[in-house]
């Protein structure tokens, strides 16, 4: 069995790999492209998502691919399905880090903390708080109540926020809506938090109609993918003060060009897709998960976090 794995993870993986495997360690996209052909198992994550997709396409013999990320939009899922390649994702690895970032963004919007920082940069002593919104007793809608969305909900309840979730199959849970039930309720919420996976079904999940249905005092938070929101409609909603503001850890495209109008949109806090990187134990958790799934794969046992290649999660 041939494995192709990131050289960055070698100290965490090498001492624990089975003795009968051949391991190829890649340190660049070019290495990954050269090493993927002939490999059976691959962990091919790279900083540029299209490089990961290209390496997987070249790995025609791959039977198992693993990723540290929860989102799978960089992966050629249908080609993988046709080949019989299985995929496991990193759901749960960065759950807390991303959830903390979402709540940080909410607090930054509520207190207009960006203006506090700008005043400090000017050495100006403010005599009043630029933001006066309190989280306590506010209402939040979390679209995509999976691992990350659920953790955001747990944290927000500690702030006294009333949380309503949206998931594919709510199964009669309290404060939980189905995928066709939330749009008519948008006007009831002070916070709309997007944590759903990026799929064909969720592209532009929030567009002009949804943004218009939000309260003018409501805020939008996106820690999922930029494609879930119609970005032109969002810019217009921010410019016209149709909504109060937005925390965007993700944009479309990424990286966001320096001259993109989203940078100048009023009360938009952009955090450059840093939420999943704001932690210290991602690689340790990812390595442990990979080793567990490798053992399961070799033993013919169910895999942890296996992705449905039709659904994309």
- 191: nearest Cα among 135, 145, 115: 135
| Alpha-carbon distances of 270 from 78, 143, 196, 241, 255, rounded to whole Å | 32, 20, 19, 17, 11
Question: Does 277 score more than 90 pLDDT?
Answer: no
The dihedral over CA atoms of 97, 98, 104, 106, expressed in degrees to the nearest 10, equals -160
Tokens found for residue 151: 């953790």
* In the chain, domain spans: 2-93+279-299, 95-277
Which pLDDT does position 75 carry in this prediction? 93
Q: What are phi and psi of 145, to 5 degrees?
A: -95, 60
Buried residues in 285-296 as b, exposed as e (16+ CB within 10 A): bbbebbeebbeb
In CATH, the number for domain 95-277 is 3.40.50.720
Kindly tell me if the per-residue pLDDT of 200 is higher than 90.
Answer: no
pLDDT tens sequence across 130-170? 999 999 999 999 999 999 999 999 999 999 999 999 999 88
C-alpha 235/C-alpha 226 separation (Å) is 13
pLDDT at 74 over 90: no
| 2-93+279-299 CATH choice from 1.10.10.60, 3.40.1670.10, 3.40.50.300, 3.40.50.720 | 3.40.50.720
* pLDDT of 47 higher than 90: no
Cβ-contact 96, 151 below 8 angstroms: yes
3-state secondary structure of 162: strand
SS3 of residue 166 by DSSP = strand
* Beta carbons of 55 and 46 less than 8 angstroms apart: yes
Q: What pLDDT does 257 receive?
A: 97
Same-fold call for 2-93+279-299 versus 95-277: yes
What is the DSSP annotation of 64-108? EEE-S-S--TTS-HHHHHHHT-EEE--TTTSHHHHHHHHHHHHHH
Q: In degrees, to the nearest 5, what angle opens at C-alpha 274 toward C-alphas 269 and 280? A: 140
Whether residue 166 contacts residue 142, with contact meaning beta carbons closer than 8 Å, is answered with yes
> Would you state the pLDDT for residue 194?
98
CB 183 within 8 A of CB 213: yes
Answer yes or no: is pLDDT of 309 > 90. yes
What pLDDT sits at residue 189?
A: 98
Residues 235-256 pLDDT 10s:
999 999 999 999 999 999 999 9
Q: What is the pTM of this model?
A: 0.85
What pLDDT sits at residue 87?
A: 98
**pLDDT at position 171 over 90:** no
């Amino acid at each position: 069995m041939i494995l192709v794995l990131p050289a960055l993870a070698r100290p965490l993986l090498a001492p624990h790999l089975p003795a009968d495997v051949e391991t190829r360690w890649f340190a660049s996209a070019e290495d990954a492209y050269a090493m993927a052909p002939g490999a059976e198992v691959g962990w091919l994550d790279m900083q540029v998502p299209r490089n990961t997709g290209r390496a997987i396409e070249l790995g025609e013999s791959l039977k198992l691919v693993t990723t540290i990320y929860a989102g799978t939009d960089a992966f050629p899922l249908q080609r993988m399905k046709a080949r019989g390649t299985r995929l496991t994702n990193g759901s749960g690895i960065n759950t807390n880090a991303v959830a903390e970032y979402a709540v940080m963004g909410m607090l930054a919007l509520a207190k207009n903390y960006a203006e506090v920082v700008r005043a400090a940069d000017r050495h100006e002593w403010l005599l009043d708080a630029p933001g006066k919104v309190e989280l306590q007793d506010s209402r939040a809608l979390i679209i995509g109540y999976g691992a990350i969305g659920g953790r955001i909900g747990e944290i927000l309840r500690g702030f006294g926020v009333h949380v309503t979730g949206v998931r594919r199959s709510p199964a009669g849970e309290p404060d939980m809506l189905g995928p066709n039930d939330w749009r008519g309720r948008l006007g009831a919420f002070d916070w709309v938090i997007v944590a759903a996976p990026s799929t064909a079904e969720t592209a532009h999940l929030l567009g002009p109609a949804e943004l218009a249905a939000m309260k003018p005092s409501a805020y939008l938070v996106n820690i999922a993918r930029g494609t879930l929101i119609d970005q032109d409609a969002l810019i217009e909603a921010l410019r016209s003060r149709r909504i109060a503001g937005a925390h965007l850890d993700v944009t479309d495209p990424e990286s966001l060009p320096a001259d993109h109008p989203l940078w100048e949109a009023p009360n938009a806090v952009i955090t450059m897709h840093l939420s999943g990187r704001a932690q210290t134990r991602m690689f340790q958790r990812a390595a442990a998960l990979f080793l567990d799934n490798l053992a399961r794969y070799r033993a013919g046992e169910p895999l942890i976090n296996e992705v449905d290649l039709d659904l994309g999660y």
